[in-house]
Amino acid sequence: MKITVIGSTGRTGMHVLEQGVRRGHELTAFTRRPQLLANFNGLKNVVTGDGLHLSDIKKAIDKQDAIIAIVGDRSTPIATDITGTIIQAMYESDVHRIVCVSSYLLGSTRPRVITPLFQWLLRHSLVDRLSADQLILSSKTEWTIVRATRLLDKPATGNVRRLKAGHEFEIGPYEICRADLATVLLDIVESKADSKSIINVTWGKRR
């Protein structure tokens, strides 16, 4: 598949690139920091740009089969603006498939210890992420939203639980490593089974 990864040089994005290349996909990395990919082999293309600029996004997704979007930062809540730009670029470029990363904290009550303090600390980024999700939900794209529990920088395990939105994980762990999340993103983008779905993901057993 021809896949553009937006947020490609973030900690999760780099795992998507590494695994996507191993799977044989033609990957386009969209980033503001192309220097981080100077020694990365196997990419089809690297497009330097800003996610807030429509022309930059259109250049990155031209003639692609799908997009994996990993956008949003706790310190600068701009996921809504970037997501709106991506959707507009998709309409104008006739690209239909998008898989985007979101947060399990949206719509979940477990683990209960995360509320209300933790959600209060993340309130700005969560409001931004929810707004971005709502743009995706109302779009005419073939979307899948992947809501991940707490992300860790640990080795891949291949042990992941998935649930459709509306169902919560009854027990922990309420965390997943970025490498396992990257595997989920690629699995979903390769399949149309989860189109128009919100998928919750976490690790499969306590570690």
Contacts of 201 (CB under 8 A, 6+ apart): 104, 146, 147, 148, 149, 160, 161, 162, 176, 181, 184
Q: What is the pLDDT of residues 60-79, one digit of tens each?
A: 999 999 999 999 755 566 89
- pLDDT tens digits in sequence order for the chain, 207 residues long: 999 999 999 999 999 999 999 999 999 999 999 999 999 999 999 999 999 999 999 999 999 999 999 997 555 668 999 999 999 999 999 999 999 999 998 866 655 545 554 454 556 678 888 899 999 999 999 999 999 999 999 999 999 999 998 788 888 899 999 999 999 999 999 998 899 999 999 999 654
Distance, CA of 176 to CA of 203 (rounded, Å) = 5
User: E-assigned strands of the chain?
Assistant: 2-6, 26-31, 45-48, 66-69, 97-103, 142-148, 150-152, 160-164, 175-177, 197-203
Q: Domains of the chain by range and CATH?
A: 2-203 (3.40.50.720)
Distance, CA of 21 to CA of 42 (rounded, Å) = 6
